[in-house]
């Protein structure tokens, strides 16, 4: 459960300081409900002594709200700006999780963030990974942060 606590602390800090939104964590679980529908997912891979994937999954309405707060503008549709913002959000989350893991002596490299969106999609998980998913709620809805990790 230490990973879940790192995810919760990191997510709350980034949302309150960078996005100006308060988020409330839910009960951590081990698998996201899939497939994702009308959603946006931002992802960052990890390599080195710890291998993994950090992803944030938001439905389109929550993604537009988060992007609007993040960029300080009105967002009406899921477009390249939204995908870029959610990818950068995943990057910030992964960077903070990386710091927590490197404090334990792990050498970790992060990939360039990416984001996908669509009417319906799935994201395959790593075969031998420990998967931690933390749901969060905010005024405009819910989202989840997923961390798949090997070697932590």
Q: What is the pLDDT of residue 151?
A: 67
27: exposed, middle or buried (Cβ count in 10 Å: 0-12, 13-18, 19+): exposed
Give the residue from 13, 33, 31 showing the smallest Cα distance to 23. Answer: 13
Comparing 33 with 108, which gets the higher pLDDT? 108
Give the chain as a DSSP string.
Answer: -HHHHHHHHHHHHHIIIII----EE---BSS--SSEEEEEEEEEEEEESSEEEEEEEEEHHHHHHHHHHHHTS---S--HHHHHHHHHHHHHHHHHHHHHHHTTT--EEEPPPEEEEEEEE--PPPTT-EEEEEEEEETTEEEEEEEEEE--
pLDDT in tens, 22-52: 999 999 988 777 799 999 999 999 998 889 9
pLDDT-based confidence at 123, cuts 50/70/90? confident
Number of domains in the chain: 1
Mean pLDDT, the chain, whole residue set? 91
CATH number at residue 59: 3.40.1550.10
Q: What is the pLDDT of residue 12?
A: 97
Quote the domain boundaries for residue 143: 2-150
Q: What is the pLDDT of residue 73?
A: 92
């Amino acid at each position: 459960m230490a990973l879940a606590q790192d995810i919760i602390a990191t997510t709350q800090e980034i949302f309150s300081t960078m996005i100006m939104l308060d988020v409330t964590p839910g009960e951590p679980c081990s698998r996201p409900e899939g497939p994702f529908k009308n959603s946006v997912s931002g992802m960052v891979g990890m390599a080195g002594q710890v291998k993994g994937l950090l992803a944030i999954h938001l439905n389109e309405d929550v993604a537009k709200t988060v992007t609007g707060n993040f960029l300080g503008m009105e967002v009406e549709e899921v477009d390249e700006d939204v995908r870029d913002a959610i990818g950068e959000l995943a990057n910030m989350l992964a960077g903070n999780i990386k710091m927590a893991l490197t404090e334990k002596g792990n050498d970790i490299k992060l990939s360039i963030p990416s984001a996908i969106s669509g009417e319906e999609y799935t994201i395959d998980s790593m075969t031998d990974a420990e998967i931690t998913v933390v749901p969060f709620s905010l005024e405009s809805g819910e989202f989840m942060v997923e961390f798949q990790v090997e070697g932590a």
